[in-house]
Amino acid sequence: MSLAPTSVLDASALLAYLQGEIGADQVAAALTRGVALSAVNWAEVLSKLAERGKVPEEVAKQLRDLGLLGEAIQIYPLDQELAQVIAELSPLSRSVGLSLGDRACLALALSLKLPAYTADQVWKSLNLGVSVILIR
């Protein structure tokens, strides 16, 4: 049974959790309540893990077997509306250099009206209407 998300994770937050880094405990707590993850951020997580020698398909299977992927973690597709919000965030965030993945997370958080977890300190300087929770 999948949990309705109560927050959105940035790739940096999920990677911190998966790799046991500082802030993993905050992400673990969020996972117990259910989280949303943009497909863009999911691709970013899998890509970073693949760079470290992990097989994306195996990572996904392990997370499904643990009851995370598809249950505690809901992946949201990139659709036309979300793409438009990502684009609208570009000029507003250019000064701090947010990546496409960063903007995908923030756009999903805006769309769902949920707070966003990240390890990216610069997000706190943004005033985009998203509650930002820094994990470290």
Q: What is the pTM of this model?
A: 0.95
For the chain, the domain total comes to: 1
Domain-located, residue 71: yes
For residue 1, the number of C-alpha atoms closer than 13 Å in the C-beta half-sphere is 2
Instruction: Determine phi and psi for 38, rounding to 5 degrees.
Output: -70, 145
Residues 59 and 42 sit within 8 Å (Cβ to Cβ): no
The residue range of the domain holding 81 is 7-122
Domain-located, residue 136: no
Residues 45 and 18 sit within 8 Å (Cβ to Cβ): yes
Instruction: Determine phi and psi for 88, rounding to 5 degrees.
Output: -65, -30
The one-letter amino acid at 129 = G
Domain-located, residue 130: no
CA 22 to chain CA mean position, Å: 16
Phi-psi region of 97 (alpha: psi -120 to 50; beta: other; left: phi over 0): left
| Cα gap 122→33, rounded to integer Å | 25
CATH of the domain at 99: 3.40.50.1010
pLDDT tens digit at each of 136 positions of the chain? 788 999 999 999 999 999 999 999 999 999 999 999 999 999 999 999 999 999 999 999 999 999 999 999 999 999 999 999 999 999 988 788 899 999 999 999 999 999 999 999 999 888 889 999 999 9
